[in-house]
Every structure is written in C-alpha cells, then in structure tokens.
Amino acid sequence: MDVSRTGAKNESMASQAGTGNGTAPHRTAEIDIEEARKAFFLMVGFIGLIWALQIVNVADSYRLDVEYGILPRSITHLPDIFTAPFLHFSWDHIEGNSGPLFIFGLLAAYRGVVKFLGVTLVVAITSGMAVWLFQGSNELTVGASGLIFGYFGYVLARGLIDRSMIDTLVAVVMGLSYYYLLTIAVPGAPGGVSWIGHLGGLVGGLVSAWIFRTNRNVFSFRKPRSPAAPTTTTLPLTSDPIGPSF
C-alpha cells in the first residue's frame, strides 16, 4: 500500500478547502457593501418619487388622492392598495413620513434589495387590505405610514429570527428610539390617523421577517440526522509475503 501518495492527496484537498473558507468572508463583505449601496440609492429614489407625486398632486388639487386612494369595501378601489402608499394629503403629511420611511426602508433593504421588494409587496397587501376591510366606509386613506410600520416590524423581527447580532442590536436601538410608533398602531390613536393601516403594516413586516428569513433552519422540527456509523475497511488476504513494495 502506497501510504505516502494518499497522505499527499489528503493534504492537497485540505489545503484547497482551507483556501476556499478563507476567501468566503471577504466575498460576503463585498456583497453586503454593494447591497447597502443599492439600498441607499433605492431609498433616495423612493423619497424622490413620492415628493414628485406630491408636487403633481398639489398642482392637480389632490385629485390623485381621490382617484388612487383606498376607499374601504369599494371593488373599484381595491387595486389602489398598491398606489395609496405613494400619495399624501398635505405637505405636513409627507414631511412627517419621509424621515422614518428613509431610515427604516434603508435598514430593511441593506441586507438585499430583491428581498426588500418582496417585503414591500407583502406589507402593501397586509396594510392596504386591513384598511380596505376594516376602515370606516367613507374614509379615504393614503400615505406611506403603512410601509413605515411594515419596515419597522421587519427590522425588529429579522435580527431575532436570523439570529444576527448586528440586526438584533439594530432592532433594539430602533425599538427604543421609535417605540412611540406603536402608540399609533393601536385603537385610540389620534383622529385622522389610520391605526388599522399601521397595525396591518406592522403585522406584514413581522410575517415578512419569517418569509424572507436567511436561516431556514430556525424553529425547524425536523429530526436531526444521526451521525453515520463508523465503517471498517478490510483487505483480502493473499498468499504473497508482506513486505515493502518497489
């Protein structure tokens, strides 16, 4: 048996594996930086879009709100759950939403823009449907606050579900800094505030953190595989005398 060749082969394989593992963190860091850059410009574009629409809306006497806002239980206004988040009732309304929207949107998107778009879709549906089903019949609803609450919930839950220290710390800081947001996502919120839409968005964000989780083994109920039993390799006996081979 030529033991020296087998050992050399094993050492070569171990060396290759070590090289691959050594470069993996560097690639991950590059991807994170690139995604964070994309997230930043995406949110700048998002804020720019809602402000451009606000200018058009004001110039048209807020007709866009009437045509594309959510009117509860109106079949013709059901598709407007996707357009209402881009519209606002006043300058104060859009100014109040722009800051939190940018911050929480950026935090939600920096782990992956594609994943962020999926979160946005889920939150728009849960927030919009909550308003469409449960809001007062004649109350027109527009505004990005449902998305804000959705991103807020997503950021809070993502760190815990993915067991990421960075995301968990971000979640704790954001939770302490913006805890007041929860006070307008419950019954008894100030008049004119759609707490139903806020609560629907928050629920959508929490659900999205589970749907788009990175660690797919979290809370897995699969039975772990038992380790493979050790095997013994046998060699057939021959009549040749044992000795060095040349």
Q: Which of 116, 94, 149 is CA-nearest to residue 42?
A: 116
Overall residue count recorded for the chain in this entry: 246
Range of the domain at 108: 30-211
pTM (predicted TM-score): 0.73
Residue with tokens 């410009």: 41
User: Is there a domain that residue 217 lies in?
Assistant: no
Q: In which residue are the tokens 């519209």 written?
A: 87
pLDDT tens per residue across span 203-224: 999 999 999 988 665 444 445 4
Any idea what the CATH number is for the domain that residue 79 is in?
1.20.1540.10
> Residue 56: which residues within 8 A CB-CB, separation 6 or more?
64
R_g of the chain, CA atoms, integer Å? 28
pLDDT digits (tens, 9 = 90+) for 89-125: 999 999 989 998 999 999 999 989 999 999 999 999 9
Residue 162 lies in a domain: yes
Residue 115 is predicted with a pLDDT of 94
In a domain, 118, yes or no: yes
Task: Mark the ranges of the chain whose per-residue pLDDT is less than 70.
Answer: 1-31, 180-192, 215-246
Q: To which residue do tokens 């994943």 refer?
A: 115
CB-CB contact of 96 with 170 (8 Å): no
Q: How many domains does the chain have?
A: 1
Distance, in Å, from the CA atom of 106 to the CA atom of 100, rounded to the nearest integer, reads 10
Question: Is residue 154 domain-resident?
Answer: yes
For 109, the 3-state DSSP assignment is helix
